[in-house]
Amino acid sequence: MQRILIDADTGIDDSIAILYALKSKKLLVEGITTCFGNSGAAQSADNCLRLIKLSGCGREIPVVIGSECSLEGEYASAPAHIHGKNGIGNVVLPKSGQKPLQEDAADFIVRKANELGGELVIVTTGRLTNLARALEKDPKLPRKVKKLVTMGGCLQVPGNVSPFAEANIAGDAKAANQVFRAGFHMFLVGLDVTTKTFITKQDLENLEMYCTEESRPCVEYIKKALDFYFEFHRQSAGMLCRCVVHDPLAMLIAEDGTLGEFAMIRAGVEYQVPAYRGMIVTDHRFDSEMEQDEIAACIRVDSDQAVRRLLFAFQ
């Protein structure tokens, strides 16, 4: 059982990653921190609380509202055309009685890492702002965390917010640069693999036939939310009745790294030059003196197996 802390900007794909984590028998969710991105951090936290209730996991999982803007104080307005006005495709889920934990998100991350004595796995599916703030509070954090799995970035494929940059990394490029260089045992799951992995409308119709009664509310939610997401994919990329799989893929890889193949890279993130903001910069020089740790960047994935596992959690 891996003990995970999720840091999310709870949009449609984040929500499916969270539901998967709550259903997985191999993951134990210790808490969720939220960040601005697909919606505001407070809205994301409210989405998380509703998703926890929907999952029927039967316990309260701490949810902490995190950063509402980047380290440099910027906030780009939420992409309502991608994730809806509420971040979850305008689906209205039943309200939860649970309230967000009144703790600073960075403090919560540091506290959990200390409490779990090296066992904590962090999975980020949004900007890296909360984690960068946690690093400021405890620079030894990377050595206290078992691994960090981050959905973000693009290496050999184009970006989705600029020719060179992916949304989670560009959304707070300074924070991303700090996290990339901090020495975490880090796995990067970026557009190189997420844009080659798809869920189709047919997958969901099949799932609806075979899901357990216990999982039916989750499946009904996923169907509605993905209808919204499919429409974005149709309008923006001409994809019919299907979407790419970003955040759930990172969660699946956090659960089982053998789904992917990885290249070790020494990397940082450009955050000063506006045109290249969010671009991952790699250093492939041989240098025996180089101290920066390498990041395992996912370059190939078994997409069929990943999607099958994702859907199987609800059967």
Interface ranges with ligand RIB (CB under 6 A): 9, 11, 13-14, 37-38, 125-126, 151, 160, 166-168, 246-247
From the list 20-28, 137-145, 247-255, 304-312, the region that binds Ca ion by CB under 5 A is 247-255
**Contact partner at residue 166 from Ca ion, ligand RIB, none, CB < 5 to 8 Å by partner kind:** ligand RIB
Among this protein's residues, is 233 annotated catalytic?
no
**For residues 289 and 187, is the Cβ–Cβ distance under 8 A?**
no
**For residues 168 and 151, is the Cβ–Cβ distance under 8 A?**
yes
**Contact partner at residue 46 from Ca ion, ligand RIB, none, CB < 5 to 8 Å by partner kind:** none
Q: Which residues within the stretch 106-165 sit at the binding site for Ca ion (CB under 5 A)?
A: 125-126
Q: Report DSSP state, residue 258.
A: G
Q: Is residue 39 a contact point for Ca ion (CB under 5 A)?
A: no
Biggest CA pair distance of the chain: 57
Indicate which residue of 81, 185, 233, 246 is catalytic: 246
What is the b/e burial string over 258-275, where b = at least 16 CB atoms within 10 angstroms of the residue's CB?
A: ebbebbebbbbbbbeeee
Say how many C-beta atoms besides its own lie within 10 A of residue 90's C-beta.
Answer: 13
Question: 19 or 211, CB closer to ligand RIB?
Answer: 19
Question: 159 or 183, CB closer to ligand RIB?
Answer: 159
* HSE-CB of 107 using CA atoms within 13 angstroms: 6
Helix segments in the chain, DSSP class H: 12-23, 41-55, 80-83, 105-115, 129-137, 141-144, 167-170, 173-180, 191-194, 201-210, 216-237, 247-255, 303-312
Instruction: Kindly state the smallest distance separating residue 248's Cβ from Ca ion, in Å.
Output: 10
The amino acid occupying position 67 is: S
**Contact partner at residue 87 from Ca ion, ligand RIB, none, CB < 5 to 8 Å by partner kind:** none
Instruction: Kindly state the smallest distance separating residue 82's Cβ from ligand RIB, in Å.
Output: 8
Question: 9 or 270, CB closer to ligand RIB?
Answer: 9
- Partnered with residue 147 across adjacent β-strands are 121
Question: 14 or 104, CB closer to ligand RIB?
Answer: 14
Q: Is residue 166 a contact point for Ca ion (CB under 5 A)?
A: no
Catalytically active residues, by annotation: 246
Residues that bind Ca ion (CB under 5 A): 9, 14, 125-126, 247
